[in-house]
Amino acid sequence: MNVLDRFLQYVKFDTQSDELTNLTPSTPGQMIFARHLYDQLVEMGLEDVTLDDNGYLMATLPANTSRTDVPTIGFIAHLDTSPDMSGHHVAPRIVTAYDGNDIILNADSNTVLSPREFPELLHYKGQDLVVTDGTTLLGADDKAGIAEIISAVAYLQAHPEIEHGKIRIAFNPDEEIGQGAHKFDVEQFGADWAYTMDGGEIGEIEYENFNAAVARVTFIGRNVHPGYAKHKMINSIRIANQFAIMLPRWETPEHTEDYEGFYHLCSIEGSVEKTVLTYIIRDHDRDRFERRKKELEHLTRKINHEFPDCATLDIKDQYYNMREKIEPVMHIIDVAIKAMEEVGVTPKVVPIRGGTDGAQLSFKGLPCPNIFAGGLNFHGRYEYVPVNSMVKAMETIVAICRIVAAK
């Protein structure tokens, strides 16, 4: 079974996560998929195959070298897909030798994947692409990563002439809701360092990510019959709107790129009596990140000065920039870059404008940068993955294992 066959099989599993269940894994489909992978890994003859009650699957490919000083390295991907769009009944389609024109995903809904809106498509002209049917996401985030890791292990098994040290692999639940590393047992995993195969376009390697927090601002109002409301009604929706427009207009996701941080208003739930604004706060720079949180505190005080005891703010940090944990061990980045170059991929070191399990794992003692899995337009109906990108990701894993053993 090659990497494409594995990927097409894996995306059929519905593994959307759900932050509202307070369970691990947050949805039953993730455990169903994990059990399927468990059986595959056992059938492949891997050692130490374990699946715990929380859906964390781990396995070992034993070393085939006589050297005893080769580090143990790991490769990690996540089981879940984003709750942003349905992953039920995913029906992938292969576009052979993409010609550079529009791809009609779904004629009934006039859903079209076009290089006019997604110019990166033209980078893959002439290649085979896996696309959606326009009604679901695809699941390349991160089932492409799972397919690449297992395919790389299978390749190493089939080519014992490639020397490698002990290789650990792991597949975890609930990355998409920020909980993938929460119950990850770093000590049990036992790797000196690892790579998450969870990046985007071919060649990407990432060891910088956002510092991240979630903020919920709750506004309490007073409802009175609108015909008799003068000097009595307190409309929490209007106050919430006043708060929202006090934040910098240009510091939002749609106006920022590269290392620029933002405030992102994710949801508004409200009535006259009560309104809740939910924000995510992101910045690569730790000092600017802390200042953003202070700004929300400042604005909450301003609102409460005008409308006493109306607003309450709850902020929770989610993860931090892994750069401070990777810089002392930059050789693991050098290894990944060398591996990409050896398999004909141009490395692109880029900051993650988001998060990754690797960030949390790095702060738990497992340095864990992120490598491309090859997909684009994650979390929606326009998601696609070039087949060649998955192949090159698999080859990069194999090359990393070979380089580490050679050193």
Please report the pLDDT score of residue 287 as a whole number: 97
DSSP three-state, residue 219: strand
Q: Is 175 a catalytic residue?
A: yes
Please report the pLDDT score of residue 164 as a whole number: 98
**How long a stretch of residues is the chain?**
407
**Average pLDDT of the residues in 45-53:** 98
Question: Is the pLDDT assigned to residue 197 strictly greater than 90?
Answer: yes
Question: Is the pLDDT assigned to residue 355 strictly greater than 80?
Answer: no
Both tokens of 110, joined, read 């006039």
**Average pLDDT of the residues in 5-23:** 96
Q: Is 187 a catalytic residue?
A: no
Contacts of 373 (CB under 8 A, 6+ apart): 77, 140, 141, 142, 144, 145, 148, 197, 198, 199, 200, 385, 389, 390, 393
- How far does CA 331 lie from the centroid of its chain? 24
Q: What is the mean pLDDT of the chain?
A: 96
**Among residues 141, 175, 357, 383, which one is catalytic?**
175
Percent pLDDT > 70 in the chain is 100
* Each residue's pLDDT tens digit, 256-270: 999 999 999 999 999
**Among residues 80, 142, 174, 206, which one is catalytic?**
80
* Each residue's pLDDT tens digit, 327-344: 999 999 999 999 999 999
Q: How confident is the model at residue 318 (pLDDT cuts 50, 70, 90)?
A: confident
Please report the pLDDT score of residue 42 as a whole number: 98
Rounded Cα gap, residues 17 and 7, in angstroms = 19
Please report the pLDDT score of residue 178 as a whole number: 86
Rounded Cα gap, residues 167 and 70, in angstroms = 10
**Structural domains in the chain?**
3-208+321-406 (3.40.630.10), 211-319 (3.30.70.360)
**Average pLDDT of the residues in 124-129:** 98
Question: Is the pLDDT assigned to residue 282 strictly greater than 80?
Answer: yes
DSSP three-state, residue 16: strand
Question: Is the pLDDT assigned to residue 356 strictly greater than 90?
Answer: no
Please report the pLDDT score of residue 4 as a whole number: 98
Question: Is the pLDDT assigned to residue 154 strictly greater than 80?
Answer: yes
